[in-house]
Amino acid sequence: MSFSLYEAIVPTMIQILQAGQGWIASAKSCGIAEEELAQTRLIEDMLPFSYQARSMITHSVGAIEGARKGSFSPDLEEAPTDLETMRLALGAAENTMRALSKGEVDSFIDGEMHFTFPAREIDIPFATEDFLLSFSQPNFFFHATTAYGILRMKGVKLGKTAFMGQLRTTLS
């Protein structure tokens, strides 16, 4: 059985983007101030929850946009700190990923692109599929796991099934 690039990336990103909306809905009702949650870090040298949540979008929708244009750079804009704005942004990212066609994503195979970070004079060339699978997908899961971990650390009632979201079973 072979998998396409689309199947290797898109359905699981949709699953976790949807789950992330649930984490934020739980966070909204936990009684902790939104600004406190938004600014919480696992450790001082890591970026806060607001950045982690936004980076899920950067490394899903942003990665696809980068694949389309052949270049990807980090999103350095200030992340929203309002939980509802974050939840809605994750929902919009989920919808964008759902709208992708298998044909378009698979057409990225054998393309060329660059990860650029002009402020640090970084320009790394990639085959597009390698960028998506070895750079953006691991980053997506890193930021999702970190966002989830921050909420758990702050006492938001979430379990492993909340992280995983809706599984794609043969029962569904």
What pLDDT, in 10s, does the model give residues 51-98?
999 999 999 999 999 999 999 998 888 999 999 999 999 999 999 999
pTM, to two decimals: 0.94
In a domain, 137, yes or no: yes
Q: What is the CATH number of the domain that holds 21?
A: 1.20.120.450
Radius of gyration of the chain (CA): 16
Q: Classify residue 170: in a domain, yes or no.
A: no
Which residues form the domain of 89?
5-164
- The total number of structural domains in the chain stands at 1
Domain assignment present for 171: no
Distance CA 107, CA 10 (A): 14
Residue 146 lies in a domain: yes
Sole residue written with tokens 């244009």: 69
